[in-house]
A and B are shown apart, each in its own frame.
Chain A
Amino acid sequence: MSPSRRSSPPRRSSPPRRLSRSLAGTAGVLALAAAWEAYKALVPDDGWVLGEVRVLPRTTDVAMPHLWDMAARAAEPLTSAPDSPPLWLATLQGAGFTLGVSAVGWVVGVTFGLLVAVLMARFVPARAGLLPWVVLSQTVPLIAIAPLVKRWGAQLEIGTFDWQDWMSVAVIASYLAFFPVSVGALRGFTSPDAAADGVRLDLFRAYGVGWWTTFWRLRAPSSVPYLLPALRLAAANAVVGTVVAEVSTGLRGGLGRMIVEFGASASADPAKQWSPIAGAVLVGLAATGLVALVALGLRRYQSGDVA
């Protein structure tokens, strides 16, 4: 009998495909920039007002600075102080700080999310008891809990361990990150139950092995296709959570605080606040890239299903 399909592993993204993909990405960014400038050029300064309602936003230099003004502002010093670093450098440092806190939040959130998912997969009553709370947890407004977490953290005393304010922010980021992971991982861990006839579970039962062996050898590897999108979502949530928590706890050093501070002086220096916004996009890209590395490490478990 001959193999019905090719006998060499399918090749992933050959060089030409990768090239065309990065070309498409570049084209998308350019199109966005062109749309920004075109809108600014075509729509009157006061936007478009229908009766009392403004249906299109203003296009003044305060509301929508030119892209080149933003770039020029980024090259200038942060403040008028004589030893002030250029704005782009300060933004990058802020982005690095925010990325670091997000990463900690992501790791904590993913770990917690996986633990909750294992608990729910192992004990069916736990699933019924926990899942509503997991969903409910995400309806609590972040702005409301951020100051609480900060206050609780400040009261924490564990030996010589000193709770830092950035840890509160990481905790809030993890609070957003754990949700998609626990839901996605639970679906993944229980996917062998749903597979047609549950033949693989029957097989493991026939081998007479326990729940944990079945978990490590079957449920955990089976969960990877469900887990990876959840990890990506968790990364995005961790970044958003970090920036918002930086704003609402007033933590210095990250992009959140910069956005607030620069926004306050927007009428005098409108291009300035766009640097930390661009920085937040960079942090999001970096976070997605890091998750892609994780996915690369797990690609063995992503291959198409077989009967």
Chain B
Amino acid sequence: MTAVVVSGAGRVFDGGSGAGTVALTDVDLTVGEGELVSLIGPSGCGKSTLLRLIADLDAPTSGSVAVFGKTAERARKDQDYGIAFQQAGLLPWRSVRANVELPMQLRGAGGLSGRAERAARSAELLALVGLTDFADHRPHQLSGGMQQRVAIARALARSPRLLLMDEPFGALDEMTRERLQDELLRIRAATGAAVVFVTHSIAEAVYLSDRVVVMSPRPGRVVATLDVPLGGPADRVARGIGLREDPAYFERVSAVREVLHSGDAASDRVSS
């Protein structure tokens, strides 16, 4: 089963009088199970809007969105995805552990209602993101990068098969960012979850993705989809820094850059 199928989706925001703003028009996107797809493009290209449609935080004005074969709304209510934003959005009055446990606590029906079960799961997740020693800290005592890792652990709390990420590393410095990219690849290898990843960094998109979807503004649309055949997440983690220096990696970065800069001209799917 595919994780996400977006077909002919559009989103028009009412501008009060006359014609509205077209944020997104006629977008088709399919994300397979366990696949990592990046959405990249300049601001205003609708990449975040598209992610919000998949998350059912917003509804398309035309077309349809299906998540695991259900409507996006059903999938949201069934907690089929985990989500992380550019801002960690932790609750400052809760400890790191309690923040990770929040989704389990709110939706106990998923089988994690017991206090002991939750504690075991949050310990597991904090180990996964390397924050075991900070479980009892409060968010304001952590650096931005650490807060973002807590947010990722929280997104994984209910073991979703789909992870939606809206520029999760956008506010971090370059070194922290690269470390968290490796961490995301490792988490993906460990969980097998599909990921839709919004970014404005070409290097980040290529390094992480199986496929890069290039978008363009006015109106927001998909202009090209590029495959990134650099191996599965486990391979990439194993290669580590070597991958970032691989000519094949550079070649893909250049390809994405060319499509981004050629803008409207490249409307065909560019094969690898």
Q: How many interface contacts (CB-CB < 8 Å) are there between A and B?
A: 91
B residues whose Cβ falls under 8 Å from a Cβ of A: 55, 57, 76-79, 81, 83, 85-93, 102-103, 106-107, 130, 134, 137-147, 171, 176, 179
Q: Which one of A80-88, A173-181, A207-215 is at the B interface?
A: A207-215
Q: Evaluate contact between B92 and A199: CB separation under 8 angstroms.
A: no
Q: How far is the CB of B190 from chain A (nearest CB, A)?
A: 19
Q: Which 3 interchain pairs have the tightest Cβ spacing?
A: A4-B143, A199-B89, A208-B77
**A12 is an interface residue with CB less than 8 A from chain B:** no
Q: Could you list 17 examples of A-B contacts with CB < 8 Å?
A: A1-B145, A9-B138, A196-B87, A199-B85, A203-B83, A205-B57, A206-B57, A207-B79, A207-B103, A218-B91, A221-B93, A303-B140, A305-B92, A307-B87, A307-B88, A307-B144, A307-B171
Closest to B142 in A: A3
On chain B, the residues within 8 Å of A206 by CB distance are 55, 57, 76, 81, 83
- Contacts A207-B107, A303-B93 given: A3-B143 contact, CB under 8 Å? yes
Closest to B90 in A: A306
On chain B, the residues within 8 Å of A303 by CB distance are 92-93, 138, 140
Closest to A209 in B: B106
Interface centre among B78, B89, B130, B143 (most CB of A within 10 A): B89
What is the bound-complex CA distance between A231 and B5, given in angstroms? 51
Q: Evaluate contact between A197 and B87: CB separation under 8 angstroms.
A: yes
Closest to B164 in A: A206
Closest to A197 in B: B87
**A122 is an interface residue with CB less than 8 A from chain B:** no
Among B102, B106, B141, B145, contact of A5 (Cβ-Cβ < 8 Å): B141
On chain A, the residues within 8 Å of B141 by CB distance are 3, 5-7, 9
**A301 is an interface residue with CB less than 8 A from chain B:** yes
Closest to B81 in A: A206
Interface of B is mostly: loop
- How many chain A residues touch B (CB < 8 A): the figure is 30
Q: Evaluate contact between A300 and B93: CB separation under 8 angstroms.
A: yes
On chain B, the residues within 8 Å of A307 by CB distance are 87-89, 144, 147, 171
- Contacts A7-B137, A305-B92 given: A208-B107 contact, CB under 8 Å? yes
**A202 is an interface residue with CB less than 8 A from chain B:** yes
Q: Evaluate contact between A213 and B145: CB separation under 8 angstroms.
A: no
On chain A, the residues within 8 Å of B142 by CB distance are 3-5
Closest to B84 in A: A203
Chain A 31-57 residues near chain B, CB threshold 8 A: none
Q: Evaluate contact between A221 and B55: CB separation under 8 angstroms.
A: no
Closest to B144 in A: A307
Q: Evaluate contact between A306 and B140: CB separation under 8 angstroms.
A: yes
Q: Evaluate contact between B57 and A202: CB separation under 8 angstroms.
A: yes
What is the bound-complex CA distance between A76 and B32, given in angstroms? 90
Closest to A221 in B: B93
Chain A 251-307 residues near chain B, CB threshold 8 A: 300-301, 303-307
**A200 is an interface residue with CB less than 8 A from chain B:** yes
Q: How far is the CB of B84 from chain A (nearest CB, A)?
A: 9
Question: What per-residue 1/0 map shows which CB atoms of A198-235 lie under 8 Å from chain B?
Answer: 01101111111100010001100100000000000000
What is the bound-complex CA distance between A100 and B138, given in angstroms? 38
On chain A, the residues within 8 Å of B134 by CB distance are 3, 7
Q: How far is the CB of B92 from chain A (nearest CB, A)?
A: 5
